[in-house]
Structure 1
Amino acid sequence: MSKAGRTAGLIGAAVGVLAAGAAAGVAVERQVIGRRSGQRAQLEAEPFGSLRGTPHVFTADDGVELYVEVDELKRSRRPEPPKRRFGRKLPLPPEDLTVVFAHGYGLNMDAWHFERRDLAGIGTMVFYDQRSHGRSGRSPKDHVTIDQLGQDLYGILEEYAPTGPLILIGHSMGGMTIMALAEQHPELFGDRVIGVGLCSTSAGRLDQVPIVFPGRVGMLARALATPTVAALARIPDVVERSRKAGTDISYLLTRKYSFGSEVPPAFTEFVNEMIAATPIEVIAEFYPIFSLHDKYDALEPLQKVECVVIGGDKDHLTPFEHAEEIVRRVPGAELVEVKNCGHLGLIEHHREFTAALLGMIERAEQSLGPNT
């Protein structure tokens, strides 16, 4: 590969990591992994991507096909309630309870691997790939907006959960998707939507968050990120080859912007593999929408439901202060700070995230009353 190609690849990897909040889609450098304990990796590795539900294809209002999987709740074969694993034994959920998960930027539904595993049996669970992500179809560029993501979620609710109580859980961009839904359909909250879980997300002012470095230098880096990603999107073949090649620096960037503590190498590789499937053009199309994101006024409907806001103290992409600001605007919401936790806490500290989500679900179920 030429020197220019390698340079473009490194820039693409670095900016993509910062933009996506994970790894910009580069594969983990095998040499780096080899320096870690192979035995530890083997013991702590998970069969990521192996949890599958009934597949569906949903056509959004603009014709984009979204990939959906539904894990049906089967009473006769319901597994032991996962809450036992967290020291609690709760009653069976309502038969018609549906829990819908919305993933973050540059990821896909498999990002919920641990939550999908540990919440099995809590209700019917619906997972989907956001437009242009995972197995879903590409979005027209002018429909790459947080508002459109909210419309997508509304359509999925109508199609796969037309009746019964709803729990909505979103990570990062997925949390923003729920906020857009609340703005567009506030009547759902406190009626059908009984609980919301917001993980590592923000209601706005992300344009004021520095990247790479603190202070003015970090703000300059943020200003340069959008045109840099856009330029890289114009040479996708060069960038994609470099992303797949992997480098030591990309591995370090992945660790810095995804996690806040030591994690098994398999976790990092899993994140990289998910984002490697997200074309650089998609990274470039979605990145600018986060600077425009402002849903503070959309948070009011969340006051009508059980709500938990979870964040990491070492999240450089949606800092914990953004979680605190959401809770200030949603009185009664639970705020959970996870220590030594980066942006992908749903993987890094999945036990803490799942336990907090379970607590919210329990309270939401109790709000329905004993005769539900």
Structure 2
Amino acid sequence: MPTAPVPPSPSLPAPTGPPPPGSRTVTTDDGVPLHVEVDGNLSASLTVVLSHGFTARLAEWELQRAALRDRVRLVLWDQRGHGRSGWTRLTRATIDRTGRDLGQVLDATTPTGPVVLAGHSMGGMSVLALARQRPELFGDRVVGAFLLATSAGGLVETGLLGLAVKVVRALHLLTLYLRFLELIAPLLERFRRRGTRIGRRVVRRLLFGADDADLANVRLVQALLEETPWPVAMAFYATFLDHDETAALEVLRKVPVTVVAATHDRLTPAAHGRAIADTVGENAELVVVPGAGHSVNLTRTAAVDQAFHDLLDRVEQRAPKAG
């Protein structure tokens, strides 16, 4: 059976220099400046808000941005500590907090009109956190959700890592361990080397699948992820250990949902996507991309774009007709 063609690597915009046109800053209630970009069809009635993954930035959506630009209004943002956004204290580096940030970006940029929320990996977790925090938004303001390579919880319950976390918790050492990571992170960052062959192998192993690891794409993703400093990455680490947003899935039953999972995703395995779709029920559509890994939005662009457009079709079909 022939494999799907791998698209050419995108040329992602740099995270430095003057902000691009359409940029603005949304300051959160705890004082963190979030970088936001508004793009697309500004006269469209429907807005899509795109939330990126862990240690990435909004540029990871560049291919989907191009595919959706003519159809909808787009809002993209850098999560706290990522890209052009400001940083935070360790205690505020949580999925609960990024969910609140997403809500404040939504309030500031799109105070009225229907919205579809899209999230990749940690971005999808932020969408779920917002659903738990503000369920009244869903079904009225939020009319759809696109969840890409993400999880509602239980990421470290199995395997050696899961066993290690359980032992550390049982010995009441988890807080001490996380404090150790916080202290050592600046030192590691000081001596960090980016763009190494070992780093590339790790990225290839964790973020790519059986047949989508084009060298140019691997280099691009490595460069993107290595932009985020170690103190940021390690601060967020604890939130993935406790991540559980299964209660939010009941809220998502109010709207059309598309869940995209990749068969070779080692960070958020496809079983997590299936579990989300199964729990959401009849309003959920599950798209499983064979051979792809965690960076499926970059390496299987056609499949992800089609799934996105299909979701927008479903949303528009449910919208009340004017007149």
Measured against the shorter chain, the TM-score band is 0.7 to 0.9
Deviation of 1:305 after TM superposition, in Å, equals 0.5
Q: Share of identical aligned residues, percent?
A: 36
Alpha-carbon RMSD: 2.5
Deviation of 1:131 after TM superposition, in Å, equals 0.5
Which SS does the other structure have where 1:284 is aligned? helix
Paired position in structure 2 for 1:337: 288
Deviation of 1:327 after TM superposition, in Å, equals 1.2
Q: Within 5 A, what are the aligned runs for 1:264-275?
A: 264-275=214-225
Matched, 1:150 2:114: no
Matched, 1:66 2:30: no
Paired position in structure 2 for 1:296: 246
Deviation of 1:269 after TM superposition, in Å, equals 1.9
Please tell me the residue identity of whatever aligns with 1:298.
A
The structure-2 alpha-carbon separation of the partners of 1:286 and 1:315, relative to structure 1 and needing over 3 Å to count, comes to same
TM-score, reference length from structure 1? 0.76
Of residues 40, 44, 62, the one that matches 2:8 is 44
Deviation of 1:222 after TM superposition, in Å, equals 9.7
Question: Contact (CA 8 Å) 2:40, 2:69: kept in 1 or not?
Answer: no
**Following the alignment from structure 2 to structure 1, what is the Cα–Cα distance between the partners of residues 126 and 182?**
27
Deviation of 1:357 after TM superposition, in Å, equals 1.1
Paired position in structure 2 for 1:107: 56
Question: Contact (CA 8 Å) 1:96, 1:163: kept in 2 or not?
Answer: no
TM-score, reference length from structure 2? 0.87
Which SS does the other structure have where 1:207 is aligned? coil
The structure-2 alpha-carbon separation of the partners of 1:223 and 1:59, relative to structure 1 and needing over 3 Å to count, comes to farther
Matched, 1:358 2:309: yes
Paired position in structure 1 for 2:321: 370
The structure-2 alpha-carbon separation of the partners of 1:233 and 1:310, relative to structure 1 and needing over 3 Å to count, comes to farther
Please tell me the residue identity of whatever aligns with 1:120.
R
Deviation of 1:299 after TM superposition, in Å, equals 1.0
**Following the alignment from structure 2 to structure 1, what is the Cα–Cα distance between the partners of residues 41 and 105?**
18
Deviations 1:74-115 (A, max 9, x none): 55xxxxxxxxxxxxxxxxxxx321100001110000010110
Deviations 1:297-352 (A, max 9, x none): 11111111110001101111111111111112101100111001111111111211
Question: Contact (CA 8 Å) 2:10, 2:63: kept in 1 or not?
Answer: no
Count of residues in correspondence between the two structures: 305
Question: Contact (CA 8 Å) 1:229, 1:284: kept in 2 or not?
Answer: no
Of structures 1 and 2, the larger Rg is shown by 1
Greater helix proportion: 1
Which SS does the other structure have where 1:206 is aligned? coil
User: Which moves more between the two structures, 226-235 or 114-123?
Assistant: 226-235
Question: Contact (CA 8 Å) 1:233, 1:284: kept in 2 or not?
Answer: no
The structure-2 alpha-carbon separation of the partners of 1:173 and 1:273, relative to structure 1 and needing over 3 Å to count, comes to same
Please tell me the residue identity of whatever aligns with 2:286.
L
Q: Which runs of 5+ in 2 are unaligned?
A: 1-5, 169-173
Which structure has more RCO (C-alpha within 8 Å, separation ≥ 6)?
1
Question: Contact (CA 8 Å) 2:50, 2:117: kept in 1 or not?
Answer: yes
